[in-house]
């Protein structure tokens, strides 16, 4: 496709950039076209990530007054844990309550079981086991 010579050079340049972008994203576009609209496995947007980034930006503004570096690190860890909990559909208060209650008796080798994604799977298995019993 060629544009008429009467079209301004800027519009030819913009169309060239647009076509170049589409070609550079061809593989991703094919993945979306093959899977995305049909079964929802490939989202058309990144709203989840954008919402989390908004929380981080707001937290950054509020963190101007954390007091010291260690307080900032603690706030970052808590923010990460609560964001991960929300992403996995976990009530952060329930998770943190159980974590803080049981952390002192947890062996170091089992600390990974307290990561939110693993914790929710263990909770689901326990709930299924009690439902069967």
At 16-48, the pLDDT tens digits run: 888 999 899 888 888 777 775 566 677 777 777
Give burial (CB, 10 Å; 0-12/13-18/19+) of 58.
Answer: exposed
pLDDT > 80? residue 116: yes
Residue among 92, 90, 67, 58 nearest 78 (CA): 92
Concatenate the DSSP letters of all residues of 22-78 into one string.
HHHTHHHHHHHHHHHHHHSSS-SS-HHHHHHHHHHHHHHHHGGG--SHHHHHHHHHH
Report d(CA 81, CA 76) in Å as an integer. 9
Domain boundaries, the chain: 9-39, 46-87, 92-133
Q: How many CB atoms lie within 10 A of CB 90?
A: 19
Query: By mean pLDDT, which of 66-75, 100-109, 111-120 is the weakest?
Result: 66-75
At 42-101, the pLDDT tens digits run: 777 777 778 777 877 777 777 777 788 888 888 888 888 988 898 899 999 999 999 999
At 48-63, the pLDDT tens digits run: 778 777 877 777 777 7
């Amino acid at each position: 496709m060629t544009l008429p010579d009467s079209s301004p050079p800027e519009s030819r340049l913009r169309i060239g950039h647009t076509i170049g972008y589409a070609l550079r994203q061809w593989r991703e576009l094919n993945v979306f076209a093959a899977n995305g609209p049909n079964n929802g496995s490939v989202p058309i947007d990144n709203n989840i990530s954008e919402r989390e980034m908004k929380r981080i930006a707001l937290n950054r503004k509020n963190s101007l007054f954390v007091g010291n570096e260690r307080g900032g690190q603690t706030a970052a860890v808590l923010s990460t844990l609560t964001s991960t909990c929300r992403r996995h559909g976990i009530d952060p208060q329930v998770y943190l309550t159980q974590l803080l209650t049981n952390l002192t008796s947890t062996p170091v080798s089992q600390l990974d079981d307290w990561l939110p994604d693993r914790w929710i799977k263990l909770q689901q298995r326990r709930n299924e086991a009690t439902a069967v019993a």
